[in-house]
Structure formats: structure tokens, C-alpha cells
Structure 1
Amino acid sequence: MKKSGGEIALDIIIYILLILVLITTLYPFIYAFAIAFNEGIDASKGGIYLFPRKFTLDNFKAVFSNHEIFSAFFISVSRTVIGTIGTLLFTGLFAYSVSHNDLMFRNHYMRIMLFSMYFSGGLIPYFILLKTLKLYNNYLVYIVPYLFNSYYAILMMSFFRGIPAALEESARIDGANDLIIFFKIIVPVSTPVLATIALFSGVMHWNSWFDSVFFVPNKNLKTLAFYLYDLVNKANITSMGNAQIDSKASAYALQTYTAETIRMATMIVVIVPIIIIYPFLQKYFVKGIMIGSIKG
């Protein structure tokens, strides 16, 4: 069917708008890469927009010259993996249970869940609670408080309710209990929503710095996101613009990079793992959100 002149004009406008959105979205990443791979002193002169003018790897060498980043990287990776698995397991079991209307005290559980979504005790009571539970300055402070999430539970409940009841009934006839049904029947058919929540939870754990600042004074337990946060703060308050680097760095390095290039290099180190993982989960992400909203 041949399009009219108005439809063609509308398509052109839509394509132009999409291109502008694409450019607006990608340019900050392109700029960050250009600065991160450019010599610091040269970058301070300005004029770098798309590509490095003087290519160098010294910025990344300076970032990795500080041994603390390796410890922070390990903490962030382990926190992301353990925290995501824990969230899926704990929240998934809760969502599966309350998705059944015959669960005893189901309405009370739902009220508590909904109340916690909208109201919080505040930072000071939360801090006191962590101290009481022996989670302050403990690695588990990255895991335990995030095992349950009300939004994730609602998303899972919406999906679980759309699974045919005949699957569970046939499994119960064969003698399967609730745990067997959950792990061998519900989990395999719930890949879209589980992958979606895994992406949400993983990004949250990877980017989280707030708890590391206030609840973990131990430097050996700091996360990579905190490392970036601390580096950005140091760069902003340093009047000479000198990067805060390890005292063993060479004199040549001190002359080739600045706080800005170090900051960009650190940011690249933090975001690249997420950029690599996201394409593999994108199809599940879109499908999980759509199915969860439609079946809700």
C-alpha cells in the first residue's frame, strides 16, 4: 500500500526524533571513552568530542595501580552474584506462596509488603537495626537487607498467577511438594520474569555505593561503586586537578593524566560489565515486563 505524503512526512519526523534520541543517549558514553583513552594534559585543553586526540592507556594503568580497586572489584562482583541469587530465591519463594489465595494469613503478608513499599523508618532507625543485627561493618549488610523487594514480589506474583494451575495439580498428584513444584516447574517456565528481576537486582547491587559509605567503614569491604564515588569527590575538591593515585606511581604518569581522565577511566571500568551483560538479558527484560503487566 502506497503511503500518502503526510504519512511519509510523519515517518521522516519519527526517524529524525529517534536518531536524536540515539545520539543523545550514546554521546555521553562516546565522550567518556574519548577522554578515558586520551592523554590527561592534552584532554585538559579541551576540543575532544568523539575520538581521543592523543591515545594512551596511562589512565587505566593509574586506576589499576591502586590495589584497593581489585579488592573493591571482587566485593562488587561477589555482592552482585550472591545478592542477585539471594533476591531471586527469597523474593521468589515469597511471591510464589502469596500467589495462592488459600495461603494462611495471606492478606496480612500482603498488607505488610504494601506498607513497606510506601513507608520507611528512616536512616537512623535503619542504622540502629543494622547495628542490632550485627550487620554494621559486615559483608552481609550488602546481602541481607536486599533479599526481599516488594516491587519484585508483585512482578513475580503477576507472572506466577498466569501459569496454568493444571501444572501444579498434576505435580501434586505425582507426589511433589511445594519446593519441588517451585524449583522444577515454576522456575523453568518463569525465565522471562526471573531474568528481568535478575537484571534489576544485579544493576542495583553493582551500582550501589550508599550502604558502603554509611554502613561499612572497613576499607577492605568497600565496593567499586564507592571507589568511583570517592574518586569523583576527590576530583571535585582538588584545586590543582591532580588525580589521587597510589604513591608508588611513576613521575611520568603524574605528568600524563589528570583527575578528569582518571575519573572517566574509572567510570568505564565500572559500566563496561553491565554493558556487556545487558544485551544477553534484553529479550527477557522486555518480555518479563510486558507479561508481568498484562497478567497483573
Structure 2
Amino acid sequence: MISNGRSSLAERLFDVFNYVFMALFSLVCIYPFYYVLIYSISDPRLASKGIYFWPAHFDFDSYIKVLSLNTIPHAFLISVEKTLIFTVLCVYFSAMLAFLFTKRVMPLRKTMYRIVISSMYLNSGLIPWYITMKTYGLRDSFLLYVLPGIINAFYIILIKTYIEQMPASLEESAEIDGAGFLTIFNRIIFPLSKPIVATVAVYASVGCWNTWIDNYLLVDNEKLQTIQVILFAYLNEAQGMATDLTQMVTNANSGRQLQLSPETIKMSITVISVLPIILVYPFLQKNFIKGIMLGAVKG
């Protein structure tokens, strides 16, 4: 009985330690973004003196002025549009190719699969990539954001592993009823792959949203600029931008003095660029976790 009591006490102490450790670890992970958020909505003069857990006098003038810039709304829409289109196409065609690789009747199936997987380890570099994109006529084209990367080797591995766990009788019964490849994929395999599809959708959307090098090197058209490149430029020009916006606020308010500091501008820009993609996770969290767990157990 004594040993059981000691064992129970040890387990409780371990649970307490575990909860405290995980709470502190979560705080360390979350606090940097929280700090950026509260700094961006604080009065610049008070925030410069130091803030920790609460905003210092709510002030949204930095957001109002940053979002009032002519280039921001259009660039934001371009980024949202390219992320949505790329994610849909990447998930669908990567899943289709993954399903094709599970078919034993596919000619050179293993060879083609190994060629696709080898792309994860072999990279020709930036210059060949630039020449290839330019040769394909993707310079100053919206397709630059969509076509390259539709087929992703890592996503194919995840989806292929998931599909291989499905009962073969599903496909066999559909084939007996006369269903072809596309019918089986669109009506049976793809709908049943919802957990792994959600996982891949999160990966693809985050990756596409954060990508900026294609825009930076190959797009000169102002109508095709994405929010990432524009905000990157604003971050590098935060001092001059803060001065200009402060002058705009002063003129608009008939002499009202408001100091927009470079730090406040940087914090506001960071929140604007990060917040949209964070909002994706709550909608896909359940299936994302389920897909990750299935990949870890069955993969």
C-alpha cells in the first residue's frame, strides 16, 4: 500500500511538473507574436518606454495609415488569390499523382516515383530556376505563383501512404460497377482522404503565403505585387515611412501631433502579414492533427 501511495504521489508530481513545463513552453512560443500584437496597438510614445503583457493605451492609427496606402489592399488580394488557387491545385494534383503511384498497372511506376522523390534532394539552384521560369514565359505573369510547385514530392509521400491504408475492396467494387480512374479518385479516394488533404492544404497554403522570392526576382508589374514583397520593402523603409505617415496624420487632423515610430510600423506590418495565415488553422486543425497522427502511426 505504501509503494502504491508513493507511486501515486510521484505520478501526481510528474503531472504537475508536466503541466507547468508545457504551460511555460507554450508561453515562450506564443508570447513573441503576442508582444508584436500589443506593441502594434499601443501608443508609440508609451510603448517605447516598455510594455510586457498589456497594451499601453489602445491606438490603431498605425494600422489605419498602413492599410490606407494604395498598394496594400490590392497586393493583399493578390496574395489571397494566389494562395487559394495554388493550394487547391497543389492538393488536387498531388493527390491524383499519389493515387496513380499506388496503381500497380502504371508503366514505370517505381521509376517515376523515385524520380519525383529525388526532387526533394536535388536542387539545381537559383540561377537555373530563374532561367527556366523566364524561358517558360512566366515573368510578370500570375501563373508564376500557381504553376511551379503544383506537384510536391513531400505531399505525394504523405497522400500515397494514406491511400495505401484504404481497403482495396473500395476500388474493386467501383471497378466492377464500371467506374474509371477519375471517377474512383474524385468520388471515392479523394473524399475519403479528407484528414491528409487538410494536412497538405495547411502546408501548401502556409508555404505559398510566405513565398516572396518569385515575386521579388520575376515580377515588375505593380498590379501583380504580393503583400509579402511590399511589406518587406516597407520594413526596410520603416523610418522614412513613419515620418511620412506621421505627417499625414498631422495634416489630416489639423495639427494633431502623433508620433508613429519605426518600431510601431514594423510591428503593424508584421501582424498584417502573419495574421491571415494564422486564421487558416482553426478551420483545419481537427483534420490536420488527425492526418499527422495517421501519418505517424501508419507511415
Output the TM-score relative to the length of structure 2. Answer: 0.91
Provide Cα deviations, 1:268-292, integer angstroms capped at 9, x if missing partner.
2222222322122111111111212
Instruction: Sort the Cα spacing of 1:229 and 1:130 in 2 relative to 1 into closer, same or farther, 3 A.
Output: same
Instruction: Sort the Cα spacing of 1:101 and 1:26 in 2 relative to 1 into closer, same or farther, 3 A.
Output: same
Provide the C-alpha distance between the structure 1 equivalents of 2:99 and 2:170, rounded to a whole number of angstroms. Answer: 14
Instruction: Sort the Cα spacing of 1:277 and 1:95 in 2 relative to 1 into closer, same or farther, 3 A.
Output: same
Residue 7 of structure 1 aligns with an amino acid whose one-letter code is: E
Moved more, 9-18 or 62-71: 9-18
Q: Which residue is 1:62 aligned to?
A: 65
Q: Which residue is 2:196 aligned to?
A: 193
* 5+ residue gaps, structure 2: none
What SS does the corresponding residue of 2:279 show, helix, strand or coil?
Answer: helix
Matches within 5 A, 1:164-203: 164-203=167-206
Give RMSD over aligned pairs: 2.0
Matches within 5 A, 1:138-287: 138-235=141-238, 238=239, 243=242, 249-251=248-250, 255-287=258-290
Residue 31 of structure 1 aligns with an amino acid whose one-letter code is: Y
Q: How far off its partner does 1:245 sit?
A: 5.3
Moved more, 204-213 or 145-154: 204-213
Q: How far off its partner does 1:59 sit?
A: 0.7
Q: How far off its partner does 1:229 sit?
A: 1.9
What SS does the corresponding residue of 1:117 show, helix, strand or coil?
Answer: coil
Q: Which residue is 1:85 aligned to?
A: 88
Q: Which residue is 1:40 aligned to?
A: 44
Matched residues, number: 291
Moved more, 253-262 or 181-190: 253-262
> 1:10 pairs with 14, 29, 40, which one?
14
Q: How far off its partner does 1:30 sit?
A: 1.7
Superposition misfits of 4+ residues, deviation over 4 angstroms: 244-248
* 5+ residue gaps, structure 1: none
Q: How far off its partner does 1:64 sit?
A: 0.8
Residue 90 of structure 1 aligns with an amino acid whose one-letter code is: F
Q: Tell me if 1:74 matches 2:73.
A: no
Q: How far off its partner does 1:144 sit?
A: 0.6
Provide Cα deviations, 1:183-238, integer angstroms capped at 9, x if missing partner.
00011110000011011101111122222211212222121122222222223xx4
Provide the C-alpha distance between the structure 2 equivalents of 1:234 and 1:148, rounded to a whole number of angstroms. Answer: 36
8 Å CA contact 1:224–1:270 kept in 2: the answer is yes
Output the TM-score relative to the length of structure 1. Answer: 0.92
Identify which of structures 1 and 2 has the higher relative contact order when contacts are C-alpha pairs closer than 8 Å and 6+ apart: 1
Provide the C-alpha distance between the structure 1 equivalents of 2:275 and 2:95, rounded to a whole number of angstroms. Answer: 29
Identity of aligned residues (%): 37
Provide Cα deviations, 1:156-181, integer angstroms capped at 9, x if missing partner.
10011111111111111111110010
Instruction: Sort the Cα spacing of 1:33 and 1:200 in 2 relative to 1 into closer, same or farther, 3 A.
Output: same
